[in-house]
Amino acid sequence: MDLDGKVALITGAGSGIGAATARRFVADGAKICIIDIRPDMLEQTASSLPRGSFVVWPGDVSVLNDVENMVEHALTIEDRIDILVNSAGIDPSGPEVNADISYWQKIHEVNLTGPYLTMRTVIPHMIKAGRGSIVNISSLSGLRYIAGRAAYSSSKGGLISLSQAVAVEYGPFNIRCNVICPGGIKTPMFENNIRPLAQMLGKDLEWVFAKFTSFSPLRRIGSPDEIASICSFLASEDSSLLTGGVLVADGGTSIVDANGAAISTVFPSR
CA separation (Å) from 47 to 5, 32, 52, 57?
22, 14, 12, 14
Give the up-direction half-sphere exposure of residue 260: CA atoms within 13 A in the CB hemisphere: 8
The amino acid that residue 7 corresponds to is: V
For residue 116, indicate whether it is catalytic. Answer: no
9 beta partners: 33, 84
- Which residues on neighbouring strands pair with residue 50, listed in sequence order? none
Catalytic residue among 103, 116, 152, 170: 152
Instruction: Find the helix or strand (DSSP H, E) in which 159 lies.
Output: helix 150-170
The residue among 106, 89, 92 whose CA lies nearest residue 181 is: 89
In angstroms, the CA 33 to CA 35 distance is 7
Count of residues in the chain: 270
Q: What are phi and psi of 265, to 5 degrees?
A: -70, -15
Tell me the residue type at 68: E
Residues 236, 27 contacting (CB under 8 angstroms):
no
The answer to whether 187 and 133 are in contact (CB under 8 A) is no
- Catalytic machinery residues: 152
